[in-house]
A and B are shown apart, each in its own frame.
Chain A
Amino acid sequence: MQWITRERPKIDRLACPWLILRFIDPAAEILYVPTAEVVPTAERTGAIPFDVPGVEFSHYGADCTFDYFLKKYALTDPALLAMAPIVRGADTDNHALAQQAAGLWAISAGLAHNITDDQQLLQQGRVLYDALYTWAEQLQGQPHTQQPEEQLLVQVYTAYLQRTQDKNAPPPAWTAQLRELIQDHLDTNLSLRLTEAADALQVNPSYLSREFARYFDDLSFGEYIRKLRIEKALQLLDTTAYSMGEIAYLTGFSDQSHFTRIFKQHTGQSPAAYRKKRPGR
């Protein structure tokens, strides 16, 4: 069978052909053509079009074409299901979906940059996805270290040294970036999530979560953002005539009662009571 898609593949248009050739149609021939020619060529030749809008084998909602192939052919191999969020994360620029997505994206983007012949790129892509499949099938959770005990010792030792020197050490560069990022969100509605922040800063979310409190008033990411929201709410209560519902919205709370409850937890009184008692009124 012939399968046809857009030229210059990166993720989905390599992962799907790999899947087709390995699990669906081993004799498949994959054609890459300019975007505008995919559907007309498919209609003329009977090739099956994929990963273009308006055809059956395509993106649906947050799912990419790879997901649709799994669903359509009822492929339930756990290794394939483990690969799906990695492919989807790399293909839809949502690297938080799987820890391996950012690496797959970097390698795929570089391969596409280096190899200008799409069929050659497909050959490389097949080797890559064969490797990822083997990892998903056999090697997940297997740690890799040269000399595990030595590595652990070195880590503990350097962590110990760091603790003792930390008072003088400058904070890591991401803290300044994060302050800016949070400041930007202050002006919108503070709906910044940890995973988004980690993605923007190019650091691992669990690392950010663990290290955050050391540089931000000993508060967790969630507590810190909540504190800023309450501070902004206090300021809006002081300086504007916005209603409680409007202030709840402007400070990123989902509804007014949630806002009232959190506000009371932090300040000991309701927003309405606070506004009433406000001096100089």
Chain B
Amino acid sequence: MKWITRERPKIDRIACPWLIQNFVDPAAEFLFVPPEQVLAQAAALPAIAYDIAGADYTHEGESCTFDYILKKHRLTDPALHQLARIVRGADTDRFELAPQAAGLWAISAGLSYNCADDHEQLAIGLKLYDALYSWARHVPAERHTWTPG
């Protein structure tokens, strides 16, 4: 299935493709277009529009589109829910939601600025969320200290 959203992604529009590709639709293809074309192209292609007002998959109250996908597809993996708080905090500028939100925002904002091409950014972003997911699943209790050897 094709999934379509606004161009120049930062947080939610990178985190959602990662979630969709890994847990909802492994054959997903992602399109980024100017905001005013999203809904029209979604109808014409067809594609599923997300993270834009008026689409099925979008922000709901205080939650972001990532939260909505978890809810809609009944994804209960605790690591995904930990990720959701971090994404929501970074995406809605509420860094108090998770200690990792401010760092995710800084890195994502810089990445978006450095990448002129949305798909290049998506490719890097997918690895970033792979890393956060692995951290949430495998290493949250690990403390890093300087004890070489």
Q: Enumerate chain A interface residues (CB-CB to B < 8 A).
A: 6, 10-12, 35-36, 51-53, 59, 64, 86, 90-93, 95, 99-111, 113-114, 124, 127-128, 130-136, 138-140, 142-148, 151, 154-155, 158, 202-204, 206-207
Q: A99-B95, A154-B62 are in contact. Are A92 and B146 (CB under 8 A)?
A: yes
- Give the distance in Å from the alpha carbon of A142 to the alpha carbon of B143 in the complex: 30
- Interface flag for B144 (CB, 8 Å): yes
Choose one: A92, A135, A138; the contact of B145 (CB below 8 Å): A92
Q: Known contacts A113-B138, A146-B92, A204-B95: does B107 contact A128 (CB below 8 Å)?
A: yes
A139 touches B109 (CB 8 A): yes
User: Is there an interface contact between B144 and A103, defined as CB atoms closer than 8 Å?
Assistant: no
B107/A132 in contact, CB under 8 A: yes
> CA A111 – CA B131 in complex, angstroms?
5
Chain B neighbourhood of A100, CB < 8 A: 102-103, 106-107
Using Cβ atoms and an 8 Å threshold, which residues of chain A touch B107?
100, 103-104, 107, 128, 131-132, 135
Q: SS class of chain A's interface: helix, strand, loop or mixed?
A: helix
Residues of B within 8 Å of A124, CB to CB, are 127
C-alpha spacing A240/B67, complex, angstroms: 56
Whether A105 and B144, one on each chain, are in contact in the complex, defined by CB atoms closer than 8 angstroms, is yes
17 A-B pairs within 8 Å (CB atoms) are namely A6-B148, A91-B144, A100-B103, A100-B107, A102-B99, A103-B86, A103-B103, A106-B103, A106-B135, A108-B131, A110-B133, A111-B127, A113-B138, A128-B107, A131-B106, A138-B110, A158-B62
Q: Kindly identify which residue among A64, A103, A127, A142 contacts B99, using a CB–CB cutoff of 8 Å.
A: A103
**CB-CB nearest in chain B for A133:** B110
Given contacts A109-B139, A146-B59, contact A91 B146 (CB under 8 A): yes
CA A271 to CA B98, docked complex, whole Å: 43
Q: Contact at A109–B144, with CB atoms within 8 Å?
A: yes
A134 touches B110 (CB 8 A): yes
> By the criterion CB–CB under 8 Å, are A203 and B110 in contact?
no
* Residue of A whose beta carbon sits closest to that of B139: A109
> How long is the Cα–Cα vector from A204 to B130 in the complex, in angstroms?
24
- Report yes or no: B96 in contact with A203, Cβ–Cβ below 8 A: yes
Q: Give the complex CA separation of A260 and B103 in angstroms.
A: 44
CB distance from A230 to the nearest CB of B (A): 31
CA distance in complex: A98, B107 (Å): 14
Residue of B nearest to A59 (CB): B146
Tell me the bound Cα distance from A113 to B136 in angstroms.
11
For the complex, what is the distance from the CA of A110 to the CA of B124, rounded to whole Å? 14
Q: How far is the CB of B100 from chain A (nearest CB, A)?
A: 4
How far apart are B66's CB and chain A's nearest CB, in angstroms?
12
Bound-state Cα–Cα, A99 to B105, Å: 11
In angstroms, how far is the closest chain B Cβ from the Cβ of A151?
A: 6
Contacting pair B103 A53 (CB below 8 A): no
* Residue in A6, A11, A110 whose beta carbon sits within 8 Å of that of B131 in the complex: A110
| Chain A to chain B: the 4 pairs with minimum beta-carbon distance, closest first | A103-B103, A110-B131, A131-B110, A110-B135
Residues of B contacting A53 in the complex (Cβ-Cβ under 8 angstroms): 148-149
Most B Cβ at <10 Å: residue of A10, A100, A206? A100
Which chain A residues border B77 with CB–CB below 8 Å? none
In the complex, what residues of A have CB within 8 A of residue B143's CB?
A: 93
Taking A93-B144, A109-B134, A135-B110 as known contacts, 11 extra A-B pairs with beta carbons closer than 8 A to each other, sorted by chain A number, are A53-B149, A90-B144, A104-B103, A107-B135, A113-B135, A113-B138, A130-B110, A131-B110, A143-B93, A147-B53, A158-B61
B128 at the interface (CB under 8 A from A): yes
In the complex, B23 has a CB within 8 A of chain A: no
Q: In the bound complex, how far is the Cα of B78 from the Cα of A242, in angstroms?
A: 50
B99 and A131 form a contact (CB under 8 A): no
